[in-house]
Amino acid sequence: MITDDTNRLVTFEGYECKEGKKYAETEAEEPLRIFTATVITESKISPLLPVKTNKPISKNKFKPCMRVLAKVRVKPPVRKGHVIVPNILDAGVNIITAVELLA
């Protein structure tokens, strides 16, 4: 991997397929991951609800996402995959429920 003066990726070596090259370039410039967390619920049975992004988001947005989710309260019932926060941080990614919470 060779970078320029601004630390931006210029060339890349050692990959064996196009997908590998694309993955490595993304990892070097802006790593993407599925973000997971929990939000507070109004349920007495389950006070926390696991949530996640519906697609990968930049790792540098994890802390800002946590700040947004700290203010979220979910009232049951919700099904698995229900959108809790649409387009979080204007990133084109939704926060969805990872499980269902019926009561």
Q: Could you write out the DSSP letters of every residue in the chain?
A: -EE-TTS-EEE-----SHHHHHHHHHHHHS-EE--EEEEEES-SS-SEEEEEESS-EEGGGHHHHHHHHTT-EE-S-B-TT-EEETTGGGSS--EEESS-B--
Whole-angstrom Cα distance, residue 61 to residue 85?
A: 14
Whole-angstrom Cα distance, residue 97 to residue 58?
A: 19
- Over residues 77-88, the mean pLDDT reads 98
pLDDT tens string 28-38: 778 899 999 99
76 has pLDDT over 90: yes
1 has pLDDT over 60: no
Domain 32-97 has CATH 3.10.530.10: yes
- Over residues 78-101, the mean pLDDT reads 97
- Over residues 64-78, the mean pLDDT reads 97
Domain ranges for the chain, please list them. Answer: 1-30, 32-97
